[in-house]
Copies of this chain bind each other. A is one copy, B any other.
Amino acid sequence: MSGSTHGTLFRVTTFGESHGVGLGVTIDGCPAGLKLDVEAIQQEMARRRPGQSRIVTQRKEADGVEILSGTFEGKTTGTPIGIVIYNQDQRSKDYGHIFDKYRPSHADYTFTAKYGHRDYRGGGRSSARETAARVAAGAVARQLLAHYGISIHSYVDQVGSIATGKDHHELDLGLIDTNDVRCPDPTTAATMEQEIMAVKKAGDTIGGVVKCVVRGVPAGWGEPVFDKLHADLGKAVLSINACKGFEYGSGFDGVTLRGSAHNDAFYTDEAGRTRTRTNRSGGIQGGISNGEDIYFRAAFKPVATIIADQESVNESGESVTVVGKGRHDPCVLPRAVPIVDAMVALVLADHCLRARGNRL
Given A130-B225, A207-B255, A207-B256, also A5-B28 (CB < 8 A): yes
CB-defined interface of A45-79 with B at 8 Å, one 1/0 digit per residue? 00000000000000000000011111010011111
> A299 contacts which of B109, B247, B276 (Cβ < 8 Å)?
B247
Are the C-beta atoms of A119 and B244 separated by less than 8 Å? Answer: no
What's the minimum C-beta distance from A231 to chain B, rounded to whole angstroms? 4
Are the C-beta atoms of A5 and B5 separated by less than 8 Å? Answer: yes
Are the C-beta atoms of B113 and A265 separated by less than 8 Å? Answer: no
CB-defined interface of A1-28 with B at 8 Å, one 1/0 digit per residue? 1111110111101111100111110101
What's the minimum C-beta distance from A120 to chain B, rounded to whole angstroms? 8
Which one of A33, A78, A303 has the greatest number of beta carbons of chain B within 10 Å? A78
Given A204-B258, A306-B259, A357-B357, also A32-B239 (CB < 8 A): no
Are the C-beta atoms of B13 and A13 separated by less than 8 Å? Answer: yes
Are the C-beta atoms of A2 and B8 separated by less than 8 Å? Answer: yes
Given A199-B258, A355-B358, also A301-B105 (CB < 8 A): no
Which one of A1, A199, A301, A303 has the greatest number of beta carbons of chain B within 10 Å? A1
Are the C-beta atoms of B5 and A258 separated by less than 8 Å? Answer: no
Whether, in the assembled complex, A212 has its beta carbon less than 8 Å from a beta carbon of chain B, the answer is no
What's the minimum C-beta distance from A97 to chain B, rounded to whole angstroms? 16
Whether, in the assembled complex, A326 has its beta carbon less than 8 Å from a beta carbon of chain B, the answer is no
Which residues of chain B come closer than 8 Å to A113, judged between CB atoms? 218-220, 274, 288, 290-291
How many interface residues does chain A have, given as a range? 35 or more
Whether, in the assembled complex, A114 has its beta carbon less than 8 Å from a beta carbon of chain B, the answer is yes
Are the C-beta atoms of A114 and B220 separated by less than 8 Å? Answer: yes
Which residues of chain B come closer than 8 Å to A222, judged between CB atoms? 3, 110, 114
Q: How many copies of this chain? A: 4
Those of A238-269 within 8 Å (CB) of chain B: 238-239, 241, 244-252, 254-260, 262-268
Q: Can you list the 9 inter-chain pairs with the closest CB atoms, starting with the nearest?
A: A107-B286, A3-B223, A245-B247, A357-B357, A15-B82, A3-B227, A205-B259, A235-B235, A207-B255
Are the C-beta atoms of B263 and A239 separated by less than 8 Å? Answer: no
Given A3-B228, A79-B124, A117-B32, also A252-B244 (CB < 8 A): yes
A23 to B82, CA, bound (A): 8
A11 to B284, CA, bound (A): 25
Whether, in the assembled complex, A317 has its beta carbon less than 8 Å from a beta carbon of chain B, the answer is yes
Given A113-B290, A258-B204, also A125-B17 (CB < 8 A): no
Given A2-B9, A246-B238, also A69-B225 (CB < 8 A): no
Whether, in the assembled complex, A310 has its beta carbon less than 8 Å from a beta carbon of chain B, the answer is yes
Which one of A125, A226, A305 has the greatest number of beta carbons of chain B within 10 Å? A226
CB-defined interface of A264-290 with B at 8 Å, one 1/0 digit per residue? 111110001010110011101111111
Those of A177-206 within 8 Å (CB) of chain B: 199, 202, 204-206
A104 to B223, CA, bound (A): 20
Which residues of chain B come closer than 8 Å to A118, judged between CB atoms? 32, 72, 77
Are the C-beta atoms of B288 and A111 separated by less than 8 Å? Answer: yes
Are the C-beta atoms of A312 and B266 separated by less than 8 Å? Answer: yes
A266 to B57, CA, bound (A): 25
Are the C-beta atoms of B24 and A287 separated by less than 8 Å? Answer: no
> A20 contacts which of B69, B223, B272, B304 (Cβ < 8 Å)?
B69
CB-defined interface of A325-360 with B at 8 Å, one 1/0 digit per residue? 000000000000000000000000000011111110
Given A252-B299, A303-B259, also A224-B1 (CB < 8 A): yes
